[in-house]
Each structure stands twice: as structure tokens, then as C-alpha cells.
Structure 1
């Protein structure tokens, strides 16, 4: 697995190269420049192709090249390269292996010192070098842990962003589906009912049939206007009273009552009431065969309420379809509730209540 901080190794290689060459030119120790430089160059090439190499083999090659460079550096400055062993291993094998390798580096460092000088523990300089090496290992493992956690957090954030985008797209598809159903579905139902009426009265009452056809034309025009209005409301403010008035216009069997002020009410709640009115009128015509529909909207400081009632054949709970489901979803998103049933006197009564929330 590639490292999230690929710049660490090249920076350390460069520092070791400069320090080693300086020590060679200054005569500090017995430095062999050819294997020293060649080893560092091989490490740079290895890092370039690390994604194509098996992690275990990559680790072994790095340790071998670190050993080559350190053995060619007479000044002993290249031992710092071994802090990269646990650092790079952290991203490929995890924390446990990284810590184990760090401990192993300390043991090897101490063993090499003992072999070279059995009394090295009495040398304060060499003990100080070991302690500094241990500090470097701790910092390397810590830095690797922070980098790995940051990468994990970025991956989770990217996954969350993708999930949010998918949810947003789904919500938008559902909204468009509800709008198509509420807008066009309402008017298409009215057109179908009017054309059926025209067909039924064509031979019995030509005048009534002509009026039904004219009303169907009017419903078609209103459908087109609703589509345009839906587009405009994406950019302009929404007025529930105006929208309801336009909805019942040209429908003598629908009576509208409106009271209250819209100011301060959430536009999403007002749109939800409008869509509920559309669905209520559509269902009254399509399913209840109502001859009279009443739409009453009232707004007050506590909230908004819409009541759609008709004199049709009543409501059957098992007949609830996509339109009512979409209406419930829309109202719930606005923080309200939907109640629908058949009162004792017959017909259907749809009640939508939405508590008042401050407009965003």
C-alpha cells in the first residue's frame, strides 16, 4: 500500500547524501562513495516503483539497501535511515508489525554496537546515539500513525460525501416524481373526467358535452401553467393563497376558503399544503366520484392547516397509493402530519397540519 506522506523518504535520503558526502570530503571516517551513492539511488528508484512490488519483498529490499548504505558510510550517519523501516511498514502491515520492527531495530543497533565495541555502554556518546535513534523511531511510528489515521478519515469523508450525494440524488428524484404526480396527475385526471363526461353527454346534451370539452381544454392549459409555475417557484417566492386560487380556478365544484397570513411560515410547509390540496382534489374526482369539494386553508402563529373534504363515497385505507404516499413524505419532511378518513356523514376528509417553523 502506498504511503500517504511519500515525501519523507526522499527528504531523508537527501539529508543522508549531503551528510555522507560532506563526511567523505572532510575525511570523517572511511566512506566508500560508490556503494554509498549507488545505494541511495537504488532506494530512490525503489520508492518510485513501490506500488508494483510485494510489501514483504519491498521491506526486505529496503532493509538490505539501508544496510549497504550504512556500511559504506564511514561516518555512521546513515544509520538514521533505519527509522524508515517501521515508518514504511506501518502503512503496509499495521501498527503491531511497525512497533515490532522498531524494537527489532533497537536490538540490532545495540547488538552491532556490542560486536564492534563490547564496552560501548561506557561511552556516553554511543549511548546518546542509541537514545537519539530510539527517539527517531518513536517519532517515525507516531508520524506514521497520524498519517494513517488522516488517510482513513479522508477515505471515510469521501465515502460519506458519496453517500450524501446519492441520498441527495434520490431525494431529488423523489421530489421530481412527486411534483410530476401532483401537478400533471391532477390535471390529467380532470381532463379524463371531463372528456368522459363529454362522451356520455354527446348524444343527450350537446351543449353540456361542448362545455366539458372546453373545461378539458382549460385543464390542459392549467397543467401547462402549473409546469411553468413549478419552474418559476425554483427562483421566485411562493404564495399559497395565489397557488390555491389558481388551482381551483375554473372548477365550479371546488370551493376555497383561505385565512391567515403567510409571512413567517416555512415555504416548504406552504408548498406541502399546496401539493396536499392538489392530491385531495384529484382523489376526490378520480376515486371518490365527488360532486363537491371544499378546500380550507388556515395559517396562524401556531402553524398551518389544510382541510380537503368531499361528498364522495368515502375513503378506503387499503386504496392508498403513490400519490398519498408522496404527500405524506412531503408533509413529514416539513415537520407535519396527515390524517385522512371518512366522517360519519359520508365523503372523505383530508387534514394536513404543520407546526410553524421559522422560514429559512
Structure 2
């Protein structure tokens, strides 16, 4: 029964009972009303109001829960759906809202997948151009500088060697950028060696990265491995660039029916800072493989990023 009919019938029952009592009972209303008559009328009115309040509170409680869900919903953080409680049109409204959320999340995941695929293609193109165009150009410049330095008089030779060293460092940096844009080691050697190489790439004078990877990882498809790699890469980038961490730990382990990636650092932590494009990108990638992404303070200090990927047919090779 709908809320309208329940309220209407309750009011009708109370009014009919009151009318019957006035018609058949010995009760009369004097002019002016006596105290006992006023008490009877006030009691009847209070019973009517209390009954209406109870019916409305019980009937509208599912709508209040739905309103709270609507104000806190985040498509990047899927959560439990509100239960389709209530009766009649209230249950239908909650069911329609849940169905709308399912469609929105599916469309968001599909659009994010297309955008991230285009982003990966653009990264590969830029990495190829950096390697083929700028890399080869700087290599030629290094050879030219070597020839000039060999023929230059002694006072200029030291300056030319310094220019050579600067150019060589620039070439190495361009190669590192190209490797980050296009993780060729992931396609060639697999996720385990790619994460080890990533940890070694971020390890330097200001940051030490340790890695612990289970040897018995289940087979994962290319998309899932890329999501795990990119989340680890973004987490280490945040640890080095924003958190100013001194140590970071990358762990990849096999759980029952899931794979968990955990990146922990000892930096400043996320505190109350709003989530930036990097974290939103990690959440979008997690949605692509139906994974759960959690970010929070690490034990002691710093930040911990935890990505749990279920091992299902969707995330394993066909």
C-alpha cells in the first residue's frame, strides 16, 4: 500500500471513529465548552496527531536514508546500495535510484576506460618521439661535442667536457621519462620485474624504495597488470615529489581470490589536502578492473595506498 493511502485510511479511520462516538455517544459540547469536554477533544486531537506522526516517520524513513545516500554518493568510490525498504512507490523509488547508480557507474567506467586507453596511446606516442627524435638528436650532439673537444685547445677542452656531461645527463633524463611514459619492461618481462625495475628507478640519494613481491602471483591480463603498475608508479611519484619521503615500501601479495598492492612511505602524509588529479586517476583505474582503492595514513607516519584486485574472469587472461 502506498504512503498516500496509508495516511488517508488512517485519518479516515480516526475521523470515522470520532464521528461515530459523537453521534452514538452521550457526549455533547456545551457553549462555552466545559473543562471535561475540552480534555476529551484535546485527547482525540493528540491521538490523531501522534498516529499521523508515527505513520509518516515509519513511512518516510527509507526516503531519509535515500537522501543521505544521495548527498554522499561518489562514483569514484562505489559503496553499498540503500536497501529497497518501505512500501509501494518508496521501494520503487529506491530501486530506481539503485538502477540509476548502476548505469552511471558502468558508464563512468566505460568512459574512463576509453580515456585511459587514449592516454596510454598518447604516452606511447610521446615516448616514441622522445626516444627516436630528441634522443637521437642529443646522441648526435654528444658525438659532435666529443669531436670538437678532441680538436679544441686545452683551455676550452674542460668546458666542452662539462657541456658533454650536461648533455649526457639530459639524455639519460629523457630516457627515464620515456620509460615512465611507456613501461616497455611490463610488456616484455611481466609485472614482477616491472615493479622491481620501478623501485630501482625511484631509488636514489633522497628516496630508498624496497620491494616485496610474492612469487606465486596468479596470472593477470594486460589491463590489470597495467593498472597495478600505474598505481604503484603514481604512489611512488607522490612519495618522492609531494610527501618528501625518505623510505618507501612496495608490496604485492597473493590473497585468497585477490591480489593486493600496498605502497607505504614515511613522508608528510596526505593530511587534509584535497585529492588531486593523480589520486583521481588511480581511482578511475581501479574502477576499470573492479578493484578497491584505499588511501590513508600509514602506521607511524606517512601514507599508505592499498589496491585490492579481485581475481576473476574479468581480470585474468582469456
TM-score by length of 1: 0.40
Higher CA-based Rg: 1
- The answer to which structure, 1 or 2, has the higher relative contact order (CA under 8 A, 6+ apart) is 2
TM-score normalized with structure 2 length? 0.44
Q: Which has the higher helix share?
A: 1
